[in-house]
Structure 1
Amino acid sequence: MPRIDITTVSERIGSGYPAPFAANAGARSKLSLGDAGGLSDFGVNLTRLPPGAWSSQRHWHTHEDEFVYVLSGELILVTEAGQQTLRANDCAAFPKAVADGHHLINRGTETAVYLEIGSRSENDSCSYPDIDLHWDPQAGYTHRDGIPYPKPPSKT
């Protein structure tokens, strides 16, 4: 595969979470490098997290492994075990089907940059232990009882 010119990769800002859960991850930005390279078995995102932003809501996947490698800045990794600081050249792994919700928070003063690498599974669903949120590919975002969240208004 030829070199990927990251200046041509579209930036995604924010998250797809329904209100009120989208705000904390609203400032994150991602470049989908795996998609840009035509990868289908796993994804690679170059993610930038400004001060005060979260990577996501705390979550875990049923069928997808995740791996994070910090390139610059400082992040707080939050899991069931508590909090750990991750700095440049630190990494963390999150095996599929382990019910240990995780996310990253930038409590520093500079934008943190990291790689997210994850498998892609059509059977994956995602649980969010701290909030009334669940995701699966058929229903999208629902409450834990299965009632769907309202769809956001379309941007026209």
Structure 2
Amino acid sequence: MPVIDLAGCPVKTGSIYPEPYATMMAGRSSLRLGDAGGLTQFGVNLVTLQPGALSSLRHWHMAEDEFVMVTLGECVLVQDAGETVMRAGDCAAFPAGDPDGHHFLNRSGSVAQFLVVGSKAPREVATYSDVDLRIEIKAGRARFTYKDGTNWAGVRDEP
């Protein structure tokens, strides 16, 4: 099945983040294009951000490379060094292990979309730069912890 019908792909909304972070993802949705095409070695998602929405908490991946290409509208890439406005055709790459957290914000008055391509490492740890949270993924199962590795039990003050 080489051709993927976008209209036939289920729209994924919401977030697996624990609260209060899951609620912050309102206005973000995605199409899992790689899954729809049967890909197993890397993921491909088309992310849609409504005006005012953000893509994720600012994060970085220990084991997975990530590539983003804006396909519609305008969004703001936020990293440690500051903000960069990105428009349709602009690309960004985030190598595995680089601790410069990133996410995208839609501050425009129109819908923004971007394509995300990322490897699917069998074991992964992603750290969320601005909050005391990380996710560990092993054998397809996700577990949220604090940055010190203890199990997540709700928001706490930074140690």
TM-score, length of structure 2 as denominator length: 0.90
* C-alpha distance in 1 between matches for 2:83 and 2:57: 15
* C-alpha distance in 1 between matches for 2:45 and 2:29: 9
Question: Residue 92 of structure 1 corresponds to which residue in structure 2?
Answer: 92
Residue 130 of structure 1 aligns to which amino acid in structure 2? D
Pairing of 1:5-154 with structure 2 (within 5 A): 5-138=5-138, 140-149=143-152
Residue 102 of structure 1 aligns to which amino acid in structure 2? H
* C-alpha distance in 2 between matches for 1:102 and 1:50: 18
Q: State the 1:145 CA deviation.
A: 3.0
Q: State the 1:66 CA deviation.
A: 0.4
* C-alpha distance in 1 between matches for 2:34 and 2:76: 25
* C-alpha distance in 2 between matches for 1:142 and 1:27: 25
Contact 2:74–2:88 (CA under 8 A) maintained in structure 1? yes
Q: State the 1:149 CA deviation.
A: 3.0
Q: State the 1:64 CA deviation.
A: 0.3
Question: Residue 154 of structure 1 corresponds to which residue in structure 2?
Answer: none
Give the 3-state SS of the residue equivalent to 1:98 in structure 2.
coil
Give the 3-state SS of the residue equivalent to 1:125 in structure 2.
strand
Contact 1:18–1:150 (CA under 8 A) maintained in structure 2? no
Residue 149 of structure 1 aligns to which amino acid in structure 2? W
Residue 114 of structure 2 aligns to which amino acid in structure 1? Y
Which structure's residues are more often strand, by fraction?
2
* C-alpha distance in 2 between matches for 1:13 and 1:86: 23
* C-alpha distance in 2 between matches for 1:49 and 1:17: 17
1:32-79: CA deviations, max 9, x gaps? 000000001110001100011110000000010001100111100000
> 5+ residue gaps in structure 2?
155-159
Residue 122 of structure 1 aligns to which amino acid in structure 2? P
Residue 60 of structure 1 aligns to which amino acid in structure 2? W
Moved runs in structure 1, 4+ residues, more than 3 A? none
> 5+ residue gaps in structure 1?
152-156
Contact 2:68–2:92 (CA under 8 A) maintained in structure 1? yes
1:2-40: CA deviations, max 9, x gaps? 311111111111211101111222221010000000001
Give the 3-state SS of the residue equivalent to 1:38 in structure 2.
coil
